[in-house]
Amino acid sequence: MLDRVFNPEGKALPPMRGFKYTSWSPMGCDANGRCLLAALTMDNRLTVQVNLNRLQWVQLVDLTEIYGERLYETSYRLSKNEAPEGNLGDFAEFQRRHSMQTPVRMEWSGICTTQQVKHNNECRVVGSVLLAVLFENGNIAVWQFQLPFVGKESISSCNTIESGISSPSVLFWWEYEHNNRKMSGLIVGSAFGPVKILPVNLKAVKGYFTLRQPVVLWKEMDQLPVHGIKCVPLYHPYQKCSCSLVVAARGSYVFWCLLLISKAGLNVHNSHVTGLHSLPIVSMTADKQNGTVYTCSSDGKVRQLIPIFTDIALKFEHQLIKLSDVFGSVRTHGIAVSPCGAYLAIITTEGMVNGLHPVNKNYQVQFVTLKTFEEAAAQLLESSVQNLFKQVDLIDLVRWKILKDKHIPQFLHEALEKKIESSGVTYFWRFKLFLLRILYQSMQKTPSEALWKPAHEDSKILIVDSPGMGNAEDEQQEEGTSSRQVTKPGLQERSREGEAEEPTDDSLPPSGDGGGHEAVEEKLLEIQGKIEAVEMHLTREHMKRVLGEVYLHTWITENTSIPTRGLCNFLMSDEEYEDRTARVLIGHISKKMNKQTFPEHCSLCKEILPFTDRKQAVCSNGHIWLRCFLTYQSCQSLIYRRCLLHDSIARHPAPEDPDWIKRLLQSPCPFCDSPVF
């Protein structure tokens, strides 16, 4: 009666608050293409939460409840051969049922994609994600969710695996890819010491393979509890094959294991790294790009472990990051590395002062930069992701540098121009737009809404080349000045002034401040002109994409919600702009449309809405409607979506929209890559 799992409504106990463990899904799982959060509360409830609207968290599903119902339906037996259900009055039976539904940990897999053939023989790519939940009795429930995850109806299956591991403590997905062959399994650690990988058979996910039998990575029951497990895919430069690096925090040691799959079969190399901490490791994190591992113990010491490949396997070189040098005496509770490895986030509380523990604990999240600005910029330039939003931690380092120096470093400017010239890929144009916007912001006397600037800029300290407090103080001062001057925008007005201006040549203003107020104003106008020009380029590229979709999906002349004729005329209106592909595309579309124009009409006065501006439509009676930046349709409703940077607006998909328009409306912002919602 006193158990919260069995009796969530039980009035006998005060409510427990807080979380035991949380786990972020990969990006692209919720309706807006962002992450889901699996949360395990102190009273052992496992739920999936989503941040659908800004700053508003919603519970999508209570997995504890659904799993409990499933167990009830099967009389608490996983297989038919199991002994029939016992009596709940029996304490052993009570314990058995309790441990089979008390989650210990949960972890998300990567996104699995499979092809589905529809009735009309059309192929559809379907995404799904798996959530593995480890229970006290060693069972693992593997939930499969259809993407985007919207709630209970997105659950496609739930399979329970019996691991047979006693006192299980942690789990992590093992995901391996070689020659388009994907393998996966679950790495499970025990509080007694052993670590093994279990096969995960999922018939529903076609094209994915698993192990034939469990692989034991560490078998000794040496009473060193496994506290955390991470797995990183790497490429072995000497063995010339992809491999998986598994690391597990065991007591104050790091156990590592390298899995190499070659024609000869599976090769396992393992060892422990010792001499890292004098206290047990409380938290461990790994950089997915290069396999660098970070561990921390509660005494404020963080270790960075860098894997170095040897002929056969690898070894680790490690160095100490002493947080007390930067933050003073602190206790550390957890660490996490940001997705592209730009920052290490650390949860700290005050340490001992004069040999006494503090009376109150103030939990703080500190950010330590792990990369220099140059490294971040180089990574962004050579990125295979080509999406600014997915690399937002690297972007943030670049942003910080430009805000501070009020100038775009020459090497970055040149490298970017070269990329734009040689490839023309829109990602580089978006990167350029981002740099110009930040430069504009850095030069403003009265900063407009600091959309790119978080409030606690001063807490970032670059460990690599400036461990002192000097940097932080600099920043603090800067923060102080700017925050005193914050007034409302000016950006809108400036942009209008700027519109009349022709884009000037591409050279950037020299660094440093040039003279008085007028010189700054002039520079701002110049940057504004460049921003306009880049935005125009990106708009044209997106318009071409939209017209391409119209051409592909309309067979006969028909009135789509996209102002096709307006887009064609707009693209052709600038005589200086010469684009052969656009001309050819527009030629084809014009043939299809014949002489028809299908103009848009103002819903208030029924007048024609001409297409003269990419951002808005004005009828002859002066009614102004904003244009959706994904379809260029005038948005004649008061409910619309925006990207995270508030660049512009987009309409909501309507039920009568054909699939291809719905797909267009799902695209990220053409200016900043962020999701639109």
Q: How many whole angstroms separate alpha carbon 422 and alpha carbon 22?
A: 44
Q: Which is nearer to Zn ion, 155 or 450 (CB)?
A: 450
Q: Which is nearer to Zn ion, 208 or 629 (CB)?
A: 629
* Structure token digits, residue 596: 């028809």
Cβ 528 to Zn ion shortest distance, Å? 17
Q: How many whole angstroms separate alpha carbon 502 and alpha carbon 407?
A: 22
* Structure token digits, residue 540: 């044209």
Q: Which is nearer to Zn ion, 446 or 621 (CB)?
A: 621
Cβ 573 to Zn ion shortest distance, Å? 23
Cβ 378 to Zn ion shortest distance, Å? 24
Q: Which is nearer to Zn ion, 40 or 643 (CB)?
A: 643
Cβ 649 to Zn ion shortest distance, Å? 10
Q: How many whole angstroms separate alpha carbon 399 and alpha carbon 450?
A: 12
Q: How many whole angstroms separate alpha carbon 295 and alpha carbon 347?
A: 13
- The two beta strands, 314-322 and 301-309, are antiparallel
Q: Which is nearer to Zn ion, 168 or 670 (CB)?
A: 670
Cβ 622 to Zn ion shortest distance, Å? 7
Q: Which is nearer to Zn ion, 337 or 439 (CB)?
A: 439
Binding site for Zn ion (CB under 5 A): 602, 604-605, 607, 619, 621, 623, 643, 645, 647, 669, 671-672
Q: Which of 430, 616, 382, 383 is nearest to 538 (CA)?
A: 430
* Structure token digits, residue 103: 């989650």
Q: Which is nearer to Zn ion, 486 or 605 (CB)?
A: 605
* Structure token digits, residue 184: 């996966």
CB 625, CB 637: distance < 8 Å: no
Q: How many whole angstroms separate alpha carbon 334 and alpha carbon 336?
A: 7
Q: Which is nearer to Zn ion, 366 or 561 (CB)?
A: 561
- The two beta strands, 293-297 and 301-309, are antiparallel
CB 436, CB 498: distance < 8 Å: no
* DSSP structure string for 296-361: EETTTEEEEEEEEE-SSSEEEEEEEEETHHHHSSEEEEEEEE-TTSSEEEEEEEE--BTTB--SS-
Q: Which is nearer to Zn ion, 107 or 673 (CB)?
A: 673
Nearby residues of 294 by Cβ (< 8 Å), 6 or more positions away: 284, 285, 286, 287, 302, 303, 304, 305, 335, 337, 344
Cβ 444 to Zn ion shortest distance, Å? 19
Cβ 527 to Zn ion shortest distance, Å? 18
**Kind and range of the H or E element at 589?**
helix 580-593
3 state DSSP class of 673: coil
Cβ 267 to Zn ion shortest distance, Å? 47
Estimate the share of the chain in helix, then strand, then coil, as percent rounded to the nearest 5: 25, 30, 40
Give the CA count within 13 Å in the CB-facing half-sphere of 42: 7
Cβ 648 to Zn ion shortest distance, Å? 7
Q: Which is nearer to Zn ion, 13 or 604 (CB)?
A: 604
Q: Which is nearer to Zn ion, 11 or 54 (CB)?
A: 54
CB 401, CB 412: distance < 8 Å: no
Q: How many whole angstroms separate alpha carbon 475 and alpha carbon 483?
A: 12
Neighbours of 414 (CB within 10 A): 10
Q: Which is nearer to Zn ion, 347 or 619 (CB)?
A: 619
Q: Which is nearer to Zn ion, 116 or 620 (CB)?
A: 620
Cβ 621 to Zn ion shortest distance, Å? 4
* Structure token digits, residue 535: 């935005």
Cβ 25 to Zn ion shortest distance, Å? 23
Cβ 536 to Zn ion shortest distance, Å? 15
Cβ 392 to Zn ion shortest distance, Å? 12
Burial class (CB in 10 A: 0-12, 13-18, 19+), 553: middle
